[in-house]
Structure 1
Amino acid sequence: MKRINAVLKLEEQGVVAVIRADSKEQGLKIVNAVKKGGIKMLEITMTVPGAIDIIKELAEYYKEEDVIIGAGTVLDAETARACILAGAQYIVSPYFNEEVVKLCNRYRILVMPGAMTVKEAIKGLEAGAEIIKVFPGSAFGPKIIKAFKGPIPQGNFMPTGGVNLKNVREWISAGAIAVGTGGDLTKGAGTGDYALVTETARKFVKAVREAKERK
């Protein structure tokens, strides 16, 4: 049931906050600011110090709330399992790793492997991935979603990398089920301006909602 809920929430929300930070303390502050701005899909990347501890803490803290905690930059099945045991409800990888997808399917956890070609995308779908992460999205821009949708209209695609407030509507209009955004969303954290992070999150939520309503 968690897997279905995660897919539905992702489609409904339309935006995933990709959390990268220099420390656990900063990571938690970013999470709080993003959540305050209305983004409820939170992806804690494995590049954050103490990432698995953060996932465990957040999964417990938000267990009664409408918030979905996931893990990003997951490179192998061992890390994926540790994240799942800590409470992650979805796993995101920058590339297709068959063992990661198998493990997530075994535990009925949403998994989003990365792809940059049609061949990679089809491999992910054949392995059982519900959603394919298009990464890095900045390499081709929104037009790659339309290109993928040509031969794979049944695929669900989420771009990450290069998604910002200027082009987020274009990504959704091109057919993306959702977008993942990190640096453009959380840049305020670099100067300690978490109010800016919250405001930026609100703008992303609004832009995605408006783009989905126009589809």
Structure 2
Amino acid sequence: MNWLNELKNHRGIVAILRGIRPDEVEAIAEELIASGITLIEVPLNSPDPFDSIARLVKLAGGRALVGAGTVLTVEAVERLSELGSQLVISPNTSTEVIRRTRALGMFSMPGVFTATEAFVALDAGAQVLKFFPADMLGASGIAGVKAVLPTDTEIAAVGGVDENSFAAYRAKGIHNFGIGGTLYKPGRNVDEIGQIARRLVVAFDSAT
């Protein structure tokens, strides 16, 4: 599958469900999908993350792309592949993780912060570069690094991004975002998550 083409079929908001439990993940995912957020990440430092991801893969049924965050090892990549996970997202630049992800036919989004890390990740086969923590660089800082990368490089801003900052990033040509604590925190109920998700979608769609 051409994952970059597939990504363009989804709004560029990745819901980061850090700390989510398997018993709540399906109801929350249904709310996110209904709100228009169809990229969903369960970080592997959540409770029983592989159980949650397996449930999400079954639930999504082509309506959403599902994957894991905080993926640090090749072993985790291989387990995710067995579950049918589609997205492999990391906070760091591990060439072994990137290469194994691509070899198993999944989508690779490693974390980078510098031009050096960005080029290392691209050389290993990364498809989207996750600039993290984005708020440390800001839209202008990421755009400065982006200027020296190949022109077709896809970038996501993650960390400290919310509905109020979409426009600033998009004005710099950055159109993908990871949204964590702004959207989901352990204990937040489904209705509140849905309300926040809809606000994020409106802000994203309105930003130019």
| TM-score > 0.5, shorter chain as reference | yes
8 Å contact from structure 1 (residues 101, 127) kept in 2: yes
1:7 is displaced (CA, Å) by 2.8
* 28-37 or 134-143, larger mean C-alpha shift: 28-37
Residue from 31, 38, 41 that aligns with 2:39: 41
Describe the superposition over 1:185-206 as per-residue Cα deviations: whole angstroms up to 9, x where unpaired. Answer: 124x53x432121111111112
The amino acid that maps onto 1:33 is E
2:174 aligns with 176
Task: Give the 3-state SS of the residue equivalent to 1:140 in structure 2.
Answer: helix
Higher helix proportion (structure 1 or 2): 1
8 Å contact from structure 2 (residues 113, 131) kept in 1: yes
Matches within 5 A, 1:42-121: 42-63=40-61, 65-121=62-118
8 Å contact from structure 2 (residues 26, 59) kept in 1: no
RMSD: 1.8
Task: Give the 3-state SS of the residue equivalent to 1:124 in structure 2.
Answer: helix
1:210 aligns with 206
Task: Give the 3-state SS of the residue equivalent to 1:103 in structure 2.
Answer: helix
Superposition misfits of 4+ residues, deviation over 4 angstroms? none
Task: Give the 3-state SS of the residue equivalent to 1:21 in structure 2.
Answer: coil
8 Å contact from structure 1 (residues 171, 179) kept in 2: no
8 Å contact from structure 1 (residues 2, 89) kept in 2: no
1:149 aligns with 146
Task: Give the 3-state SS of the residue equivalent to 1:60 in structure 2.
Answer: helix
2:193 aligns with 197
Distance 1:92 1:149, change over 3 A: same
Give the TM-score, by structure 1 length: 0.88
Unaligned stretches of 5+ in structure 1?
A: none
Question: Share of identical aligned residues, percent?
Answer: 28
Task: Give the 3-state SS of the residue equivalent to 2:16 in structure 1.
Answer: strand
Describe the superposition over 1:81-122 as per-residue Cα deviations: whole angstroms up to 9, x where unpaired. Answer: 111211111100000111111111112211011100000001
The amino acid that maps onto 2:184 is T
Distance 1:8 1:143, change over 3 A: same
Whole-Å Cα distance in 1 between the matches of residues 37 and 67 of structure 2? 13
Distance 1:29 1:92, change over 3 A: same
The amino acid that maps onto 2:155 is F
1:8 aligns with 8
Task: Give the 3-state SS of the residue equivalent to 1:144 in structure 2.
Answer: helix
1:2 is displaced (CA, Å) by 6.1
The amino acid that maps onto 1:184 is T
Task: Give the 3-state SS of the residue equivalent to 2:80 in structure 1.
Answer: helix
1:159 aligns with 157
1:38 is displaced (CA, Å) by 1.6
